[in-house]
Amino acid sequence: MSVLIVTGGSRGIGAAICELAASRGYDVVVNFSGAAAPAEEVAERVRAFGQRALAVRADVSAEDDVRALFDAAASLGPVDALVNNAATTGNTPGRLDGYEVDVVRRTLDVNVTGVFLCCREAVRRMSTRHGGAGGAIVNISSTAARTGSAGEWVHYAASKAAVDTLTFGLAQEVAGEDVRVNAVAPGMIHTGLHAAAGLPDRMAKYAPLIPMGRAGQPVEIAEAVLWLLSPAASFTTGAVLAVGGGR
């Protein structure tokens, strides 16, 4: 029985990953940092598939919280899958020269330090070097790492570029220890992030720039993640898979 931790699993892409994973036999730990109710709802949907689920509050940028998250997950069994989905843009979009440093620091704390801390705890449990039985990690990056997100979230784009580099470097470190590390880089996806940032029409604005002519759905990202977690991707590590409709 596989045990999967999904950070930021209470909504959007994270929730879609939790539900699809449950449909494919994973027990799921739904991590959240805000309101508990949405995470509990996702956990209930996981249980509806006949799988076990926990909703665990943890700030991924806080070392003690991350340790507690993995300890809680261990109650379901050895953790052999991790999806680092939790992230923030700092919400208010704008040019780099208009950003407050606290927003940038918080974005880097969650998007980069959070991924580092969760990867570290996962490797300490999964790696055969540490007595584990192996596993798979998928980090959620963004095509913004390549496009730069100018005029909106350059700091966010930079944080996702760091995730790409972390993915490739860690994959090489643990390739011989039965741990695979990959990333999925979503493009424009229909989630609540855009409206929360005050940009409810963002998808309509960018859709004409996407070769496929539309924004993606969270489940389309979830499908890519579940492939990378699965044995079907057994010879894939250090990859960043772009899922952005060609943009």
Tokens of 142: 């963004």
Residue in the structure block whose two tokens are 């943009």: 247
Burial class (CB in 10 A: 0-12, 13-18, 19+), 124: middle
- DSSP secondary structure letters along 98-142: G--HHHHHHHHIIIIIHHHHHHHHHHHHH-GGGT---EEEEEE--
Residue 48 has pLDDT above 90, yes or no: yes
How many other C-beta atoms can be found within 10 angstroms of the C-beta atom of residue 87?
25
Mean pLDDT of the chain: 95
**What confidence tens digit (pLDDT) does each residue in 121-163 have?**
999 999 999 999 999 999 999 999 999 999 999 999 999 999 9
Rounded to whole angstroms, the Cα distance separating 244 from 124 reads 32
| pTM score | 0.96
pLDDT at residue 236 tops 90:
yes
Predicted local confidence at residue 122, as pLDDT = 98
CB of 225 closer than 8 Å to CB of 132? no
Q: What is the pLDDT of residue 102?
A: 96
Domain covering 3-243 in this structure, CATH number: 3.40.50.720
Which one, of 205, 211, 104, 116, lies nearest residue 163 by Cα? 116
Active site residue 156: yes
Pick the catalytic residue from 26, 99, 156, 206.
156
Is there a contact between 220 and 243 (Cβ–Cβ < 8 Å)?
yes
Identify the H or E element spanning 53.
strand 53-57
In this prediction, residues 11-38 reach a mean pLDDT of 98
Among all chains, which residue has been given the structure tokens 């208010």?
A: 92
69 pLDDT tier (thresholds 50, 70, 90)? very high
